[in-house]
Amino acid sequence: MDLGPRTNLAKPMGFAVFGAQAIIEYQRYLEQPARMSDQTCTLSSEHLSLAVAPLGAEMQYLRTASGQELLWHGNKVFWTGRAPILFPIVGRAVDDVVRSGNLTAEMAKHGFARRHDFAVEEASQTRCRHVLHASEATRAVYPFEFTLTVTHELDGPTLSVTAEVANAGDAPMPFGFGFHPAFRCPLPGTDAPHHVTLASGGQPQQQPLRPDGLLERALVPGPFREGRLEITDTLFENDALVFPGASEPLRYGPANGPWLDFAFSNLPDLALWRPVGAPFLCVEPWHGTASLVGDGPETAQRPNSLTLAPGAVAAFGYRVTFVSA
């Protein structure tokens, strides 16, 4: 399905740091139609349109009624992801090795769900649901019988994304879970400075992320001031900012709009990430984080991990509402 060229895209903040060739590649990418498959679900409301691919149950675009892009496109110049689902771990493990039950195996950062095809279980104009079951491939690295169901739904200017993790086996099942959506920076129609503003006005502590992808054990003062953090090109020079236990309603955008308003459910940890000069910001609500320096490989002992009893189900979700200027 050819959706035509991408339009209404301002030059991203800080893009010049990658030089002329990167800009040329980026512009070529914008001129290409969005990558779609026959199994991609397309949703629409009076305010938004959305596409979700079976691979990873990952969003491919999120657009306003006027066709302006809100979601990052996955250009390899910066990052090929768009909105991956993180399961059964969040972040990196020590030496990329995890031990789950009696099995020790290699597992890449953020787990395997984003690399597997989900089946479409439901599809309508405003809602779609994808499901991933345990398979021979997943059991080779994660020996549990799970079902992961991801639902995307549009209601006016609001996108809701929910996930349910079910333990279909007969043994306790440890895991972490998170969302990793990337939204345009700047948002369409503005080049004003963007901020993340916490509803509480708080100043959460930060857990520094090391170059090897592991977290330091000690918390340090974070960069928020009275609940407000300006998104700059230097803010993420040392990779993502991780705020354990600091997830709360927040607003992303410039002072005078437009904005994206977020609310989270059962996702207590928050991370923000933007490669230097990239035209997007990831707002990442998690339940669990990367391993701490000195940790072992046990999945059950990863920070803020969960363990589901046989037959139990855990639910997670976030809502994002587009508020025009």
Query: Could you tell me which residues are beta bridge partners of residue 173?
Result: 308
231 backbone dihedrals φ, ψ, rounded to 5°: -85, 110
The beta strand positions in 20-157, using DSSP E, are 41-44, 48-52, 59-64, 85-86, 97-100, 103-106, 119-123, 127-133, 146-155
pLDDT for 24? 44
Q: Determine what percent of the chain is predicted with pLDDT higher than 70.
A: 89
Instruction: Give residue 210's Cα distance to chain centre.
Output: 20
As given in the structure block, the two tokens for residue 231 are 């998104």
- Identify whether the C-beta of residue 69 lies closer than 8 Å to the C-beta of residue 268: no
Query: What does the DSSP assignment read for 29-68?
Result: HHTSPPP--TT-EEEE-SSEEEEE-SBTT-EEEEEETT--
Q: Which residues in the chain show pLDDT less than 70?
A: 1-37
Terminal Cα distance for the chain, rounded? 31
CA distance 297 to 209: 18
CA distance 325 to 102: 54
Q: How confident is the model over 64-106, as pLDDT tens digits? A: 999 999 999 999 999 999 999 999 999 999 999 999 989 999 9
pLDDT for 35? 54
b/e map of 187-197 (b: 16 or more CB within 10 Å)? bbbbeeebbbb
- Identify whether the C-beta of residue 295 lies closer than 8 Å to the C-beta of residue 99: no
pLDDT for 81? 97
pLDDT for 20? 44
Query: What does the DSSP assignment read for 250-278?
Result: EEEEETTS-EEEEEEES--EEEEE--TT-
Length of the chain: 325
